[in-house]
Structure 1
Amino acid sequence: MGYAEKRGAYWRARYKIEPGKYGTVQDSTGVKVEFRTKREAKKAADEAEIKGRPTTTPGRMRFGNWANVWYERQDLAASTMQNYRRHIEEHLLPTFEDRELGSISSADVNAWAKSERGAGYADASVKTWRGTLHLLLADAVDEGLIPSNPATKRRGRGKRVGRSRSRGPEKAITTALGVLLMAERAALLSGRDDEFTALVTLGFTGMRWGELVGLEKEFIRPGEVRIEWQLYELDSGEMHRCPPKDDSRRTAVVPDWLTGLLRAQSARLCACHGRAYVFSGHRSANGAVREVGPKLVDVARRAGVSTGTVSAVLNERDSVAAATREKVAAAIADLGYVRGGVTGTVAAHWRRTGFATWLFQPAATGRYPGKNSRPVPILGEPWPGIPVRGRNAAGRADACWVPIAPGLTPHGLRHTYKTMMIELGTPPVLMDEQLGHLDGSVQARYSHTTPEMRRRLTDGLTDLWTAAINTRREMSPNSPVNVLDEMLRPRSSPKFLPTEIKRRLRAGPS
């Protein structure tokens, strides 16, 4: 690769002619060009190395060298740069690094794609990597390094069945009741209400994962949520604050009950970004979510007392009645609680893998992850059961969770939300607005959302939520999760009543 060399008050551009020999960029008269900035000199050197080397003929540059030059020229979002680098280093260079650009044929590209699929990678992933390869080679065509792009695939060529380019395996989704039940389980696994509110928000807004993690308190407004930023997790572990995918900033309408849930979440000032985020991470920042044992709140739930009472028992205070002490002691023995067993500083933000693997997956499938996947052992009371942790957890348990939505992922809740909107008869223009999609058709250009559309959507979502709450109440009238237990209590307020009943109450007696 070329480089910039400082020469007093200016920079000159140096590029490699052959091993051990470098040239300097000159103008048409043969005079060495003096550049004002290092960046200008570096860019000119890179271009000269590609186009101006006397010993370089079209097609002779190696793929690895071109990939380095191409990547350095990109000026994109940090998440996109990370993805490009991962595609190149992990999937393209192992096969093409030492190949000359002119020697790569369509047959070579197809053979590479076939070998990637044979290695167990999903078709969608191979398609993405091939897209990056196509982009690299298309730019090489523009530079005159190769005459045509061997990664170009004619539509329909080489496909075994069908003509669609986007068919894939079935996507797992769930229902409003499934969202509620999984949210309750996630809260029981984490020992706090945050995960309950988070899963309900994903299921009833269709937000992307990064948008949920990056949701700031100031964007929670009456009846709506403004999606302005996301937090994207880089390979380095840094949470990068950037616009949503495809710059899909939007205002999503939400029912009043969901606004109340989100506002009940206390804003936490994030040290790494200096902003108040609605949600914080779970457990230690070193990724040891899977190593946590039973928590103080688990003991309180099992004994049917407050966490303060459990703390008073552990601190041997005289203010606790003997009968209560016995209940707390029995709960500690049942759960295998060890005081001080959970250590580490609570992370500022969730990590995608930790959340999906150790909270979402057990909540959806009823099983912990791993090769030797095992059911989540629970104590059956109070319903739906308190997870048992520690040594001999299975031996101390008296039940286990059953699956709710096998195969579901956090992104699958976005599909679930779209499906619920279709069931409610939501107009396509409003569905696109809610999800941040862009329809470039003529029909979409002449379609617009109205307040009445939004009201019907929020009323419909409220009806789905009310039905889910009523069904959950029939299973058990109480919940160990505080925020859900409040909702399960019978209420005379019309807040949780179906939409038609609320309309009649507003209209008064006929």
Structure 2
Amino acid sequence: MAYAEKRGNLWRARWKGPDGHTESQSGFQKKTDAENYGRDQEAAIRNNSYVDPRAGKITVTEWVNLWFPALDLEPNTLDNYRYFIEVHILPAFGDRELRSLEREEIATWEKRLRLSRRTAREARSTFTNLLNDAIPRYLQTNPAARRRGKGRKGQRRIAEAERKQKVWATPLQSLLLAERCALLSGEDTDFVMNITAAYTGARWGELLGLPPDRVRPGAIDIHWKLYELNGRFYRGRPKDGSMRTIDTPPFLDELLAHQMAGRKAGSCTCRGTEEPWCPGGRYVFLSPTGAHFRRSNYSERLFRPAADGWHPKRNGKHGRPAMPVLVDMGEPWPGKPVPPWPPAEAGEPFTPPTGRGVTRLVSDEERGRCSECRRTQLLRIDGTLIGHNSDGGRCPGGGKPPAEDVALASWLPLSPGLTPHRLRHGHQPWMDDTRIPYVLQSERMGHEVPGMRGTYAHPTPDMRIALVKALQQFWDESLAARARLAPRSGVAMLDTLLSAYRGR
């Protein structure tokens, strides 16, 4: 039983710890305070919430060395944890004892991190997770945890407004986006992949990890996902174990069948010899070289230009400013993309860029484009093209006037800020708009229905039929709307689909 003993002018609390040894805590002004403290410790022992007074002396670095090796998480999650711990947490708090950490100093540390606000929040969240597992053995409370309702109300409301304003794509925008991506790459694969993302709500990694044997008429089995880590890929189960079967409308079955039938080889070029790296396998969506699409590279080359109408700014050794996506309007609408040029400035005369490696699309006083081989050649004094070779032979364009300049235009922004993951988010309002029951929505998105509702609710065949009909209708309406914009497309697959609407 806890008791108090006199120590000079102060009192010391004494109680028996979980291991049978007598523990103590000094510094109490009154005997009753010491006795109450000792009884509280005994109650904590009975409730399995007892914290050894000496345990908090462990440093953050020592605790990390105990905590991190015991984690059983995906390698990319572990890599993120390792980055925040080694780069931000340990340099600031590594030598500190756990019991010395204060909530206010951790909040100040988060504010002073030279990171984006979102990344700084993730760094603190990692710190919070790290210290959560130190309770109750080493800590009673988590000093890194954020107090609810204590932040600036304005910031919370702004964050909520920004969350609601995040863009998502309508069926027509999804179609136009997929078309633009395919025009930029020159491959039908990008058209089918982005349409599949929009009409299934599948995650980016789930699309990359989709094997052909998981695609069947009327359904796609999402059983695997490809995770990207430092430029390499490994296969794992979907996020949170959300293995599921997604119902597909007839048009998507046809697109996927065409995609798989048209590929000469469906095996990736990975040759991982150690776990967990991809050793190679068959996948529905691969680049022309048989490699997996890398998220950042795909976003910079295709997705951002398609959604924003601009090539994003590029940093590094071969950096360049943001440039508009220029297209040759001599080709079917919305034009064939050409190499990027700097944007024109209002009120300033525009001079087309020249130099080695720059594609000449307009003529000048010295050079012109050949109407036969389409290459830029020097001009004679009389303004005709000099004689030149093309494809190993003499080009018949020599001596003729240069071809007309390319009719250039720039793409308008389609859905600025759209990301591949926002295609998944857009699938949710599509289902809401057609009043698809929540239980089927959750199953399709790979979410759990909480509580007893999730235990007893199940999608019915009629629900699935209604969903498939709604998605097919979305597609038919978006395809008709696209045909009204222009009857042809530079994407071979889409051009074939539009043929049914020509002449209407």
TM value normalised by structure 2: 0.69
- 2:133 matched residue in structure 1: 139
CA distance in 2, matches of 1:491, 1:165: 45
- 2:287 matched residue in structure 1: 281
Task: Answer with 471-480 or 210-219: which moved more.
Answer: 471-480
Q: What aligned pairs does 1:134-213 form with structure 2 within 5 A after superposition?
A: 134-144=128-138, 146-161=139-154, 167=160, 169=162, 170-213=165-208
Q: Indicate yes or no: 2:58 matched with 1:61.
A: yes
CA distance in 1, matches of 2:77, 2:92: 22
CA distance in 2, matches of 1:259, 1:397: 38
CA distance in 2, matches of 1:221, 1:262: 9
Equivalent of 1:234 in 229, 235, 238: 229
Whether the aligned pair in 1 keeps the contact of 2:311 and 2:322 (CA below 8 Å) is: yes
- 1:443 matched residue in structure 2: 453
Whether the aligned pair in 1 keeps the contact of 2:269 and 2:290 (CA below 8 Å) is: no
- 2:219 matched residue in structure 1: 224
Q: Shift of residue 404 of structure 1?
A: 0.6
Q: Shift of residue 138 of structure 1?
A: 2.2
**2:257 is aligned with what amino acid?**
R
Q: What aligned pairs does 1:89-488 form with structure 2 within 5 A after superposition?
A: 89-116=86-113, 119-123=114-118, 125-144=119-138, 146-161=139-154, 167=160, 169=162, 170-235=165-230, 237-266=231-260, 268-272=266-270, 273-281=279-287, 346=289, 348-370=291-313, 372-380=321-329, 381-389=331-339, 391-392=358-359, 398-488=408-498
Partner of 1:80, secondary structure, is helix
- 1:339 matched residue in structure 2: none
Whether the aligned pair in 1 keeps the contact of 2:209 and 2:283 (CA below 8 Å) is: yes
CA displacement, residues 79-131 of structure 1 (integer Å, 9 cap, x when unaligned): 32222212322332232223332221101111122223xx35234x4443323
Whether the aligned pair in 2 keeps the contact of 1:232 and 1:239 (CA below 8 Å) is: yes
**1:157 is aligned with what amino acid?**
K
Q: Shift of residue 398 of structure 1?
A: 1.1
Q: Shift of residue 153 of structure 1?
A: 2.8
> What value does the CA root-mean-square deviation take over the aligned residues?
2.5
Whether the aligned pair in 1 keeps the contact of 2:227 and 2:234 (CA below 8 Å) is: yes
Seen in structure 2, the aligned counterparts of structure 1 residues 354 and 397 have a Cα distance that, compared at 3 Å, is farther
Seen in structure 2, the aligned counterparts of structure 1 residues 65 and 394 have a Cα distance that, compared at 3 Å, is farther
Q: Shift of residue 397 of structure 1?
A: 5.8
Q: Shift of residue 234 of structure 1?
A: 0.9
**1:218 is aligned with what amino acid?**
D
CA distance in 2, matches of 1:347, 1:264: 17
Q: Shift of residue 189 of structure 1?
A: 0.7
Whether the aligned pair in 2 keeps the contact of 1:377 and 1:393 (CA below 8 Å) is: no
Task: Answer with 146-155 or 179-188: which moved more.
Answer: 146-155
Q: Structure 2 unaligned runs (5+)?
A: 1-52, 271-278, 315-320, 340-356, 363-405
Partner of 2:323, secondary structure, is coil
Partner of 1:172, secondary structure, is coil
Whether the aligned pair in 2 keeps the contact of 1:223 and 1:255 (CA below 8 Å) is: yes
CA distance in 1, matches of 2:267, 2:252: 22
Q: Structure 1 unaligned runs (5+)?
A: 1-55, 283-345, 493-510
CA distance in 1, matches of 2:115, 2:471: 39
TM value normalised by structure 1: 0.68
Whether the aligned pair in 2 keeps the contact of 1:202 and 1:414 (CA below 8 Å) is: yes
CA displacement, residues 127-150 of structure 1 (integer Å, 9 cap, x when unaligned): 433232122112223433x44321
Task: Answer with 413-422 or 258-267: which moved more.
Answer: 258-267
Whether the aligned pair in 2 keeps the contact of 1:388 and 1:397 (CA below 8 Å) is: no
Whether the aligned pair in 2 keeps the contact of 1:251 and 1:434 (CA below 8 Å) is: yes
Q: Shift of residue 159 of structure 1?
A: 3.7
CA distance in 1, matches of 2:66, 2:141: 19
Seen in structure 2, the aligned counterparts of structure 1 residues 163 and 446 have a Cα distance that, compared at 3 Å, is farther
Larger radius of gyration: 2
Whether the aligned pair in 1 keeps the contact of 2:311 and 2:325 (CA below 8 Å) is: yes
CA distance in 1, matches of 2:480, 2:127: 52
CA distance in 2, matches of 1:147, 1:198: 50
Q: Shift of residue 425 of structure 1?
A: 1.1
**2:499 is aligned with what amino acid?**
R
- 1:83 matched residue in structure 2: 80
CA distance in 2, matches of 1:413, 1:213: 15
CA distance in 1, matches of 2:161, 2:85: 24
Whether the aligned pair in 1 keeps the contact of 2:183 and 2:337 (CA below 8 Å) is: yes
**2:284 is aligned with what amino acid?**
V
CA displacement, residues 162-217 of structure 1 (integer Å, 9 cap, x when unaligned): 87898361211121010011101100111110000011011111100000110110
Seen in structure 2, the aligned counterparts of structure 1 residues 255 and 59 have a Cα distance that, compared at 3 Å, is same
Partner of 2:57, secondary structure, is coil
Whether the aligned pair in 2 keeps the contact of 1:377 and 1:397 (CA below 8 Å) is: no
Whether the aligned pair in 1 keeps the contact of 2:219 and 2:248 (CA below 8 Å) is: yes
**1:151 is aligned with what amino acid?**
A
Q: Shift of residue 160 of structure 1?
A: 2.3
Q: Shift of residue 355 of structure 1?
A: 0.8
Whether the aligned pair in 2 keeps the contact of 1:207 and 1:435 (CA below 8 Å) is: yes
CA distance in 2, matches of 1:386, 1:213: 27
Q: Shift of residue 391 of structure 1?
A: 0.9
**1:269 is aligned with what amino acid?**
S
Number of aligned residues: 370
**2:236 is aligned with what amino acid?**
C
